Amino acid sequence: MAITETIPLSRLHKAIPTSMLAAVYRGVNHVRLETVPVPQIGSGELLVRVHTCGICGTDLKKIATGSHSTPRIFGHETSGVVAAIGEGVRDFSIGDRVVMFHHIPCGKCYYCQHKTYAQCEVYKKVGCTAGFEPSGGGFAEYVRVMDWIVCSGTMRIPNNVSFEQACFVEPVNTCMKGIQALGLQEGETVLVIGQGPIGIILGTLAKKARSRVITSDLYPQRLTISKTTFGLGKSIDASRTDTLEAVREQTEGRGADAAILAVGGNSLIRTAMDAARPGGRVLLFAQTVHGDAVIDPGAVCVEEKTLLGSYSASIELQEESVRFVMNREMDLEKLISHRFPLSSSVEALNLAAHPQPNSMKIVIQPGSLWEGRKE
Protein backbone atom coordinates (compact mmCIF):
# COMPACT_ATOMS: atom_id res chain seq x y z
CA MET A 1 0.00 0.00 0.00
CA ALA A 2 1.42 3.39 -0.92
CA ILE A 3 1.94 5.93 1.82
CA THR A 4 -0.54 8.34 0.25
CA GLU A 5 -3.25 5.72 0.79
CA THR A 6 -2.70 5.58 4.55
CA ILE A 7 -2.04 9.29 5.22
CA PRO A 8 -4.78 11.83 4.38
CA LEU A 9 -3.69 14.09 1.56
CA SER A 10 -4.56 17.14 3.67
CA ARG A 11 -1.75 16.17 6.04
CA LEU A 12 0.98 15.93 3.45
CA HIS A 13 3.62 18.66 3.23
CA LYS A 14 4.00 18.04 -0.48
CA ALA A 15 3.41 15.23 -2.92
CA ILE A 16 5.38 12.27 -1.63
CA PRO A 17 6.73 9.91 -4.27
CA THR A 18 6.40 6.16 -4.00
CA SER A 19 10.13 5.63 -4.61
CA MET A 20 13.35 7.40 -3.65
CA LEU A 21 17.13 7.22 -3.92
CA ALA A 22 19.19 5.62 -1.16
CA ALA A 23 22.75 4.47 -0.58
CA VAL A 24 22.23 0.75 0.10
CA TYR A 25 24.80 -1.43 1.87
CA ARG A 26 25.09 -4.72 -0.03
CA GLY A 27 28.19 -6.32 1.49
CA VAL A 28 31.72 -5.69 2.72
CA ASN A 29 32.86 -2.35 1.31
CA HIS A 30 29.94 -2.45 -1.11
CA VAL A 31 27.45 0.42 -1.07
CA ARG A 32 25.53 1.39 -4.16
CA LEU A 33 22.94 3.97 -5.08
CA GLU A 34 19.54 2.36 -5.61
CA THR A 35 15.91 3.28 -6.09
CA VAL A 36 13.86 1.90 -3.19
CA PRO A 37 10.27 2.38 -1.95
CA VAL A 38 9.58 5.37 0.27
CA PRO A 39 8.91 3.82 3.71
CA GLN A 40 5.32 3.65 4.90
CA ILE A 41 4.48 4.96 8.35
CA GLY A 42 1.99 3.81 10.94
CA SER A 43 0.16 5.44 13.82
CA GLY A 44 2.33 7.55 16.06
CA GLU A 45 5.09 7.74 13.46
CA LEU A 46 6.68 10.42 11.28
CA LEU A 47 8.02 10.50 7.76
CA VAL A 48 10.95 12.90 7.58
CA ARG A 49 12.44 14.23 4.39
CA VAL A 50 16.18 14.19 4.98
CA HIS A 51 18.15 17.37 4.52
CA THR A 52 21.56 16.51 6.02
CA CYS A 53 23.08 13.33 7.44
CA GLY A 54 26.58 13.17 8.87
CA ILE A 55 28.78 10.16 8.16
CA CYS A 56 29.74 8.43 11.40
CA GLY A 57 32.76 6.22 11.94
CA THR A 58 30.62 3.42 13.36
CA ASP A 59 28.72 3.15 10.07
CA LEU A 60 32.01 3.05 8.18
CA LYS A 61 33.23 0.18 10.37
CA LYS A 62 30.02 -1.77 9.78
CA ILE A 63 30.46 -1.34 6.03
CA ALA A 64 34.15 -2.28 6.13
CA THR A 65 33.81 -5.34 8.38
CA GLY A 66 30.53 -6.78 7.17
CA SER A 67 29.38 -7.05 10.77
CA HIS A 68 25.72 -6.54 9.83
CA SER A 69 23.40 -8.41 7.49
CA THR A 70 22.46 -6.98 4.13
CA PRO A 71 20.75 -5.03 2.70
CA ARG A 72 20.72 -1.95 4.96
CA ILE A 73 20.56 1.82 4.69
CA PHE A 74 22.84 3.43 7.25
CA GLY A 75 23.07 7.03 8.45
CA HIS A 76 21.88 8.21 11.85
CA GLU A 77 23.11 11.81 12.30
CA THR A 78 19.96 13.02 10.55
CA SER A 79 18.14 16.33 10.29
CA GLY A 80 15.23 17.16 8.02
CA VAL A 81 11.61 18.23 7.62
CA VAL A 82 8.47 16.37 8.65
CA ALA A 83 6.77 15.31 5.42
CA ALA A 84 3.90 13.25 6.84
CA ILE A 85 2.49 12.36 10.26
CA GLY A 86 0.77 9.20 11.40
CA GLU A 87 -2.51 9.00 13.26
CA GLY A 88 -2.28 10.13 16.87
CA VAL A 89 0.77 12.38 16.45
CA ARG A 90 0.05 15.63 18.30
CA ASP A 91 3.45 17.13 19.07
CA PHE A 92 4.66 17.59 15.49
CA SER A 93 3.24 19.09 12.32
CA ILE A 94 4.07 18.78 8.65
CA GLY A 95 6.82 21.23 7.83
CA ASP A 96 8.51 21.07 11.25
CA ARG A 97 12.29 21.05 11.04
CA VAL A 98 13.54 18.18 13.24
CA VAL A 99 16.51 16.11 14.33
CA MET A 100 16.24 12.59 15.71
CA PHE A 101 18.06 10.20 18.02
CA HIS A 102 17.82 6.73 16.47
CA HIS A 103 18.18 4.93 19.83
CA ILE A 104 16.05 5.46 22.95
CA PRO A 105 16.19 3.07 25.95
CA CYS A 106 13.18 1.55 27.69
CA GLY A 107 14.07 3.06 31.08
CA LYS A 108 12.85 -0.02 32.95
CA CYS A 109 15.23 -2.94 32.35
CA TYR A 110 18.23 -4.04 34.44
CA TYR A 111 20.67 -2.05 32.31
CA CYS A 112 18.55 1.10 32.37
CA GLN A 113 18.21 0.84 36.14
CA HIS A 114 22.02 0.70 36.29
CA LYS A 115 22.28 3.60 33.78
CA THR A 116 24.07 1.48 31.20
CA TYR A 117 21.58 2.54 28.57
CA ALA A 118 23.49 1.40 25.48
CA GLN A 119 23.12 -2.22 26.66
CA CYS A 120 19.31 -2.02 26.87
CA GLU A 121 17.63 -4.31 24.32
CA VAL A 122 15.14 -1.60 23.38
CA TYR A 123 18.00 0.86 22.92
CA LYS A 124 19.70 -1.59 20.55
CA LYS A 125 16.50 -1.71 18.50
CA VAL A 126 16.98 1.09 15.96
CA GLY A 127 13.91 3.29 15.60
CA CYS A 128 14.64 5.06 12.30
CA THR A 129 14.66 3.39 8.91
CA ALA A 130 14.59 4.05 5.19
CA GLY A 131 13.75 0.42 4.50
CA PHE A 132 15.15 -3.07 5.07
CA GLU A 133 16.50 -3.80 8.57
CA PRO A 134 16.28 -0.53 10.55
CA SER A 135 19.77 1.02 10.54
CA GLY A 136 19.25 4.78 10.75
CA GLY A 137 18.28 5.44 7.14
CA GLY A 138 19.77 8.92 6.80
CA PHE A 139 21.56 8.06 3.57
CA ALA A 140 18.23 8.28 1.76
CA GLU A 141 15.65 10.88 0.78
CA TYR A 142 13.07 9.89 3.40
CA VAL A 143 13.24 8.28 6.83
CA ARG A 144 10.50 6.63 8.84
CA VAL A 145 10.67 7.58 12.52
CA MET A 146 9.01 5.01 14.76
CA ASP A 147 6.64 5.88 17.57
CA TRP A 148 8.97 5.58 20.58
CA ILE A 149 11.53 7.77 18.83
CA VAL A 150 8.81 10.31 17.96
CA CYS A 151 7.77 10.42 21.63
CA SER A 152 11.19 10.60 23.26
CA GLY A 153 13.90 11.15 20.65
CA THR A 154 12.73 13.79 18.16
CA MET A 155 13.38 17.51 18.64
CA ARG A 156 12.43 20.61 16.69
CA ILE A 157 15.22 22.70 15.20
CA PRO A 158 14.92 26.43 15.98
CA ASN A 159 14.52 28.66 12.94
CA ASN A 160 17.90 30.29 13.49
CA VAL A 161 19.75 26.95 13.52
CA SER A 162 20.85 25.22 10.32
CA PHE A 163 20.23 21.59 9.45
CA GLU A 164 24.02 21.15 9.42
CA GLN A 165 24.44 22.41 12.97
CA ALA A 166 21.50 20.33 14.17
CA CYS A 167 22.76 17.03 12.76
CA PHE A 168 25.53 17.08 15.40
CA VAL A 169 23.12 16.53 18.31
CA GLU A 170 23.72 12.78 18.54
CA PRO A 171 27.53 12.83 18.18
CA VAL A 172 27.76 15.66 20.71
CA ASN A 173 25.73 13.55 23.14
CA THR A 174 28.12 10.63 22.73
CA CYS A 175 31.07 12.93 23.44
CA MET A 176 29.36 14.36 26.52
CA LYS A 177 28.82 10.83 27.76
CA GLY A 178 32.53 10.05 27.35
CA ILE A 179 33.59 13.22 29.18
CA GLN A 180 31.14 12.42 31.96
CA ALA A 181 32.64 8.93 32.30
CA LEU A 182 36.10 10.44 32.84
CA GLY A 183 34.88 12.52 35.78
CA LEU A 184 37.20 15.40 34.93
CA GLN A 185 38.22 17.82 37.66
CA GLU A 186 39.05 21.47 37.16
CA GLY A 187 42.72 21.95 36.33
CA GLU A 188 43.40 18.37 35.26
CA THR A 189 45.44 17.76 32.13
CA VAL A 190 43.68 15.81 29.38
CA LEU A 191 45.38 14.39 26.29
CA VAL A 192 43.05 13.94 23.30
CA ILE A 193 44.63 11.65 20.69
CA GLY A 194 43.12 12.41 17.30
CA GLN A 195 41.79 15.75 16.08
CA GLY A 196 39.13 14.68 13.68
CA PRO A 197 35.64 16.07 14.33
CA ILE A 198 35.00 13.79 17.32
CA GLY A 199 38.40 14.52 18.87
CA ILE A 200 37.79 18.25 18.53
CA ILE A 201 34.35 17.98 20.14
CA LEU A 202 35.82 15.92 23.00
CA GLY A 203 38.61 18.44 23.46
CA THR A 204 36.15 21.35 23.46
CA LEU A 205 33.98 19.65 26.08
CA ALA A 206 37.03 18.86 28.21
CA LYS A 207 38.05 22.51 27.99
CA LYS A 208 34.50 23.50 28.97
CA ALA A 209 35.00 21.34 32.07
CA ARG A 210 37.99 23.61 32.85
CA SER A 211 40.58 20.99 32.11
CA ARG A 212 43.90 21.76 30.47
CA VAL A 213 43.70 20.13 27.05
CA ILE A 214 46.61 18.79 25.00
CA THR A 215 45.83 17.52 21.51
CA SER A 216 47.78 15.27 19.16
CA ASP A 217 47.38 14.18 15.55
CA LEU A 218 49.48 12.99 12.62
CA TYR A 219 48.00 15.69 10.37
CA PRO A 220 49.24 19.24 11.09
CA GLN A 221 46.27 20.58 9.13
CA ARG A 222 43.87 19.13 11.69
CA LEU A 223 45.86 20.58 14.57
CA THR A 224 45.66 23.97 12.87
CA ILE A 225 41.85 23.74 12.67
CA SER A 226 41.69 22.54 16.25
CA LYS A 227 43.81 25.49 17.41
CA THR A 228 42.67 28.40 15.25
CA THR A 229 38.98 27.58 14.96
CA PHE A 230 38.20 25.92 18.29
CA GLY A 231 40.88 27.27 20.62
CA LEU A 232 42.60 23.98 21.48
CA GLY A 233 46.05 25.53 21.47
CA LYS A 234 48.38 23.04 23.17
CA SER A 235 49.05 20.58 20.40
CA ILE A 236 51.53 17.84 19.50
CA ASP A 237 52.37 17.10 15.88
CA ALA A 238 52.69 13.32 16.15
CA SER A 239 54.27 13.17 12.68
CA ARG A 240 57.32 14.97 14.05
CA THR A 241 57.28 14.66 17.83
CA ASP A 242 57.11 11.74 20.25
CA THR A 243 53.71 12.15 21.89
CA LEU A 244 54.70 10.50 25.17
CA GLU A 245 57.79 12.64 25.64
CA ALA A 246 55.88 15.81 24.79
CA VAL A 247 53.08 15.03 27.25
CA ARG A 248 55.54 14.29 30.05
CA GLU A 249 57.43 17.49 29.34
CA GLN A 250 54.19 19.41 29.86
CA THR A 251 53.21 17.55 33.05
CA GLU A 252 56.41 17.58 35.12
CA GLY A 253 57.18 14.06 33.95
CA ARG A 254 53.98 12.49 35.32
CA GLY A 255 51.81 12.11 32.25
CA ALA A 256 48.27 13.29 31.67
CA ASP A 257 45.58 12.95 34.33
CA ALA A 258 43.36 11.54 31.60
CA ALA A 259 43.92 10.37 28.03
CA ILE A 260 41.17 10.03 25.42
CA LEU A 261 41.68 7.86 22.37
CA ALA A 262 39.52 9.37 19.60
CA VAL A 263 41.12 7.36 16.79
CA GLY A 264 39.68 4.08 15.51
CA GLY A 265 41.61 0.84 15.67
CA ASN A 266 43.64 -0.61 18.49
CA SER A 267 47.19 0.40 17.59
CA LEU A 268 47.24 3.47 19.85
CA ILE A 269 45.67 1.94 22.95
CA ARG A 270 49.10 1.30 24.47
CA THR A 271 50.16 4.85 23.64
CA ALA A 272 47.11 6.27 25.41
CA MET A 273 47.77 4.13 28.46
CA ASP A 274 51.45 5.07 28.56
CA ALA A 275 50.55 8.76 28.26
CA ALA A 276 48.39 8.67 31.40
CA ARG A 277 50.05 9.23 34.76
CA PRO A 278 49.97 6.57 37.51
CA GLY A 279 46.46 6.66 38.90
CA GLY A 280 45.19 8.35 35.74
CA ARG A 281 42.30 7.40 33.47
CA VAL A 282 42.19 6.27 29.86
CA LEU A 283 39.01 6.52 27.78
CA LEU A 284 38.59 4.33 24.70
CA PHE A 285 36.07 6.19 22.59
CA ALA A 286 36.47 4.88 19.04
CA GLN A 287 37.25 1.20 19.61
CA THR A 288 33.91 -0.23 18.51
CA VAL A 289 35.12 -3.43 16.85
CA HIS A 290 35.88 -6.52 18.94
CA GLY A 291 39.36 -7.99 18.58
CA ASP A 292 42.76 -8.42 20.17
CA ALA A 293 44.59 -5.42 21.56
CA VAL A 294 47.83 -4.76 23.40
CA ILE A 295 47.10 -3.65 26.96
CA ASP A 296 49.71 -3.57 29.73
CA PRO A 297 48.07 -5.28 32.74
CA GLY A 298 50.72 -3.88 35.05
CA ALA A 299 49.65 -0.38 34.13
CA VAL A 300 46.15 -1.19 35.41
CA CYS A 301 47.19 -3.12 38.50
CA VAL A 302 50.54 -1.75 39.69
CA GLU A 303 50.22 1.78 38.30
CA GLU A 304 46.51 1.90 39.18
CA LYS A 305 45.41 3.33 35.87
CA THR A 306 41.72 3.09 35.08
CA LEU A 307 40.68 1.91 31.62
CA LEU A 308 37.23 3.15 30.60
CA GLY A 309 34.95 2.73 27.63
CA SER A 310 32.06 4.86 26.39
CA TYR A 311 29.72 3.94 23.57
CA SER A 312 26.76 5.69 21.96
CA ALA A 313 24.49 8.32 23.53
CA SER A 314 22.92 8.79 26.95
CA ILE A 315 19.25 9.63 27.45
CA GLU A 316 20.26 11.56 30.58
CA LEU A 317 22.32 13.95 28.46
CA GLN A 318 19.75 14.41 25.71
CA GLU A 319 18.46 17.80 26.82
CA GLU A 320 21.95 19.08 27.57
CA SER A 321 23.29 18.02 24.18
CA VAL A 322 20.33 19.56 22.36
CA ARG A 323 20.80 22.81 24.27
CA PHE A 324 24.55 22.84 23.56
CA VAL A 325 24.00 22.39 19.82
CA MET A 326 20.95 24.62 19.37
CA ASN A 327 22.48 27.44 21.43
CA ARG A 328 25.56 27.20 19.22
CA GLU A 329 27.91 26.84 22.18
CA MET A 330 30.21 25.37 19.55
CA ASP A 331 30.10 26.32 15.88
CA LEU A 332 29.83 22.73 14.70
CA GLU A 333 29.26 23.64 11.05
CA LYS A 334 32.93 24.64 10.93
CA LEU A 335 33.82 20.97 11.38
CA ILE A 336 32.26 20.16 8.00
CA SER A 337 34.84 20.01 5.23
CA HIS A 338 32.88 18.22 2.50
CA ARG A 339 29.23 18.21 1.46
CA PHE A 340 27.97 15.64 -1.03
CA PRO A 341 24.57 15.25 -2.69
CA LEU A 342 22.92 11.88 -2.27
CA SER A 343 23.83 11.03 -5.87
CA SER A 344 27.52 11.14 -4.80
CA SER A 345 27.04 9.24 -1.55
CA VAL A 346 29.38 6.39 -2.53
CA GLU A 347 32.14 8.92 -3.15
CA ALA A 348 31.35 10.57 0.19
CA LEU A 349 31.57 7.28 2.08
CA ASN A 350 34.84 6.40 0.37
CA LEU A 351 36.40 9.71 1.37
CA ALA A 352 35.16 9.33 4.95
CA ALA A 353 36.63 5.82 5.11
CA HIS A 354 39.99 7.11 3.83
CA PRO A 355 40.37 10.50 5.52
CA GLN A 356 42.79 13.00 4.05
CA PRO A 357 44.67 15.82 5.79
CA ASN A 358 42.08 18.30 4.54
CA SER A 359 38.98 16.21 5.30
CA MET A 360 37.02 16.58 8.52
CA LYS A 361 33.31 15.98 8.94
CA ILE A 362 31.67 14.74 5.75
CA VAL A 363 27.93 15.03 5.26
CA ILE A 364 25.48 13.71 2.70
CA GLN A 365 22.70 16.13 1.83
CA PRO A 366 19.68 14.59 0.10
CA GLY A 367 17.79 17.83 0.71
CA SER A 368 20.45 20.40 -0.14
CA LEU A 369 18.70 21.42 -3.35
CA TRP A 370 15.13 21.62 -2.04
CA GLU A 371 15.83 23.57 1.12
CA GLY A 372 19.30 25.08 0.92
CA ARG A 373 21.58 25.60 3.88
CA LYS A 374 20.34 28.14 6.40
CA GLU A 375 23.06 30.46 7.63
pLDDT value, residue 368: 62
pLDDT value, residue 289: 86
- What is the residue type of 321? S
* Helix (H), strand (E), coil (C) string for 121-179: HHHHCCCEECCCECCCCCCECEEEECHHHHHHCEEECCCCCCHHHHCCHHHHHHHHHHH
Structural domain boundaries of the chain?
3-161+328-364, 172-309
pTM for the full predicted model: 0.93
**Cβ(282)–Cβ(259) under 8 Å?**
yes
CA–CA separation, 353 and 270 (whole Å): 23
pLDDT value, residue 372: 43
pLDDT value, residue 370: 54
Level-2 CATH architecture, domain 3-161+328-364: Alpha-Beta Complex (3.90)
Level-2 CATH architecture, domain 172-309: 3-Layer(aba) Sandwich (3.40)
Residues 6+ apart with CB under 8 A from 225: 195, 200, 360
Q: What is the pLDDT of residues 81-111, one digit of tens each?
A: 999 999 999 999 999 999 999 999 999 999 9
- What is the residue type of 315? I
CA–CA separation, 345 and 252 (whole Å): 48
pLDDT value, residue 288: 86
Q: Which residues of the chain have pLDDT under 50?
A: 1-13, 369, 372-375
CA–CA separation, 135 and 286 (whole Å): 19
Comparing CA positions, the residue from 102, 68, 134, 164 lying closest to residue 362 is 164
**Cβ(261)–Cβ(203) under 8 Å?**
no
